[in-house]
Every structure is written in C-alpha cells, then in structure tokens.
Amino acid sequence: MAGTYPQAWEEVAQVAILKLGGTVYGYGAITETIDISEPDYPGESIPTTAGGRVWKQSPQEDGEITLEIYPLEVDPTGSAGLFNEFAGGTASSSEPQETDTSWTAGVDRTRDRFLVAIMWTDDATLNTPALVLDHDSLSAANKVALRFYAKECRITSHKSDFTDGILKTTVTFKFPAMNAGGTAKTHQWGSTNDVAASPLDQLTYSSGL
C-alpha cells in the first residue's frame, strides 16, 4: 500500500548540505526561503530565405539554489551559518571561530564544492540531514517524499544584511548543468510514494563528477 501525497508541500522542508568528501549538515532550522533555479535550456529560431524558422539550440546554462538564512555563528559543524563554506581555506578547529584570511600567493584557489539536497516529506522519522541523502533504513510505511539535489555546487554569493533588525544572509549556490565529461547531469528531482518500500537513491559525494 502506498502513501498519499498532500494537496501541496507547505511550510517546512529539510535542507542538507554536504561539502565534497565531508560531513552532511542540516540547515533547515535557520532557513527561511528556498529558490531553485534549474539550468535554462536557451535557444532561438533563425529565419530562412524560405520564410521558415530553424531552431538553434544553445548549451544548457548553469543552475542556482538560493537560501535565505539566519546565521548564528561561524562554526562549520554547528549548522548555524555558511561563513566558512563561502570563505574557503582552513576552518578554525577551536574557539574563537574565524574565517581563514591566510592565503599563499600564486597557488590555485579552487572553490569548495557542495551537494545541496532539499526534501519535502510527511515521514516523521526522516528527521536528520543524513536521512535526506540515504533513507533506505527507514521502516515507516506509506510515507511520501519529494527531493531535489544538485552536486558540484559552488557558493558564488554570500550577502548579509541587518536592515530589518535581524541578521539575514542570502546564499547562492551555482552548479553546472552537466559534469566535465558531458556524461551525467549534476542535478535531479525524485519522489516516492512509499519511503520505506521504495526509497530514493542514496546520495554520496566523496568525489567530484
């Protein structure tokens, strides 16, 4: 027997972010809004001398995920901000927590990459960020879920403001439509009408695409 999808997904969602080769953390508790902009597939028609039109397809563009969050601290293990993830370099391992300012001139400054997964579900046992990525072990039957994820995400924008009397940061993750080899898309939607019997594919991110 399968579960029943709600009339709409409302109010709440799970937000899981995993740095390449790192540990997954949940950010739903500090997230207010989520915007998912899948890669556009642009193109245009070209007029011919016969009066017709030939469609010219352009390469698929990059996608973006934007989160509005209310950060509390710099500690990257606290699920309370993305300061270190944006700054890059080596994160503090003890208090006080501070973003890295030491860089070596002339050395490649490759940006960190992330997997970002967002899930909507009526399964109360799916309550940790790790379960957003892998819920094969769940036993609750007749529960439904919808999930979007993107790999190869880089934080391209991290803007904080206090204009409304509360500290808010708008964080934008940008991801390519395909992997470097052109053999796999970096993002996917998935849903299941029975989380226990038909779990979504397990997500891992120990190596880049």
Asked whether residue 180 is assigned to any structural domain, the reply reads yes
Asked whether residue 113 is assigned to any structural domain, the reply reads yes
Query: What are the pLDDT digits (tens) for 59-108?
Result: 999 999 999 999 999 987 878 999 999 998 888 888 999 998 888 888 87
Weakest mean pLDDT among 34-48, 52-66, 117-131:
117-131
pTM higher than 0.85 for the full model? yes
Query: What are the pLDDT digits (tens) for 150-159?
Result: 999 999 999 9
Asked whether residue 69 is assigned to any structural domain, the reply reads yes
Q: What is the 3-state secondary structure (H, E, C) of the chain?
A: CCCCCCCCCCCCCEEEEEECCCCEEECHHHEEEEEEECCCCCEEEEECCCCCEEEEECCCCCEEEEEEECCCCCCCCCCCCCHHHHHCCCCCCCCCCCCCCCCCCCCCCCCCCEEEEEEEECCCCCCCHHHHHCCCCCCCCCCCEEEEEEEEEEEEEEEEECCCCCCEEEEEEEECCECCCCCCECEEEEEECCCCCCCCCCCCCCCCC
Asked whether residue 45 is assigned to any structural domain, the reply reads no
Asked whether residue 209 is assigned to any structural domain, the reply reads no
CATH number where 169 lies: 2.30.110
Q: Residue 104's pLDDT is what?
A: 86
- Domain extent, residue 113, equals 14-39+55-99+109-192
Asked whether residue 2 is assigned to any structural domain, the reply reads no
Q: Residue 1's pLDDT is what?
A: 61
Asked whether residue 159 is assigned to any structural domain, the reply reads yes
Asked whether residue 44 is assigned to any structural domain, the reply reads no
What is the share, in percent, of the chain residues with pLDDT greater than 70?
99
Q: Give the count of domains, the chain.
A: 1
